[in-house]
Structure 1
Amino acid sequence: MSQLFPVSFTIETLSWIIYSTMHLMTYQKPTDNYIILDKTNNVYGIDLFIGETNYLNQGIGTKMLSAVIEYIFEQLQAVKIVIDPDVSNTRANRCYEKCGFVKVKLLTAHQLHEGRHSDCWLMAINRKKSLH
């Protein structure tokens, strides 16, 4: 089950957060980097996007992500949450680390964006290490 939460400010869409249980995700090839997770029961994948640059560097992403992490751990009883940001997205990586995510593994050529492959971090937070 995937859930998308758009967050709006006045009439502009400010951002979105999406999460999904990992056991529902399908893989196109057996070497997909997420296979390194030992178990996917009660593991959720998450992604976050802030579309309006005027709202960057205000702590909005950290606040939104913290609230969703708390919801996933407390209401959905997740044991782990993973995310895979681009290594060059230092702002996002800093936000995820502030929220308790740690870098687990470098995923080489993991993301295809605008015709180019880029490296991503596999980052994770365990329930017991949650800020909440």
Structure 2
Amino acid sequence: MFETLLIVGIGLAGGFAVGAQAQIAGSMGNRIGGAAGSFIVHLGGAVASLALLIARGGENISEWRYLPWYMLGSGVFGLVLYLTLSQTVPKLGATSAIALVVVGQLLVGLLIDHFGLFDASVRSIDLSRIAAAILLLAGAYLMLR
């Protein structure tokens, strides 16, 4: 039970981080441009990741050469997310922009799970997952109204 609560807490912390970053990304994108803001965000993330990597003794960084190509290029998704937020937050507000991001995450998550993409365990789309997706889509629609 404790482990489940811990994992839920970690997930919520990630959501809080995305929520805070959404507004910051939107404001920074308005002030200095989307690509410039993305560079600053990713540079700060790289510095923080390097500090964490050093604190953790390097983990298995030497194995990076054996990663599939799509893992090496996955930072592009961070750029897409940042540019998306820098455009949507100023026009729609943080809540609506985040709702759209969450819906996008949900849809790609369903596909990744269903087909077992990127080393994921297969979790087929079933009626309860479809119902959950419909409820989240309805919530996003209500946020955007």
TM-score tier after normalising by the smaller chain length: under 0.3
Higher helix share: 2
Higher relative contact order structure (alpha carbons within 8 Å, sequence separation ≥ 6)? 2
Larger Rg: 2
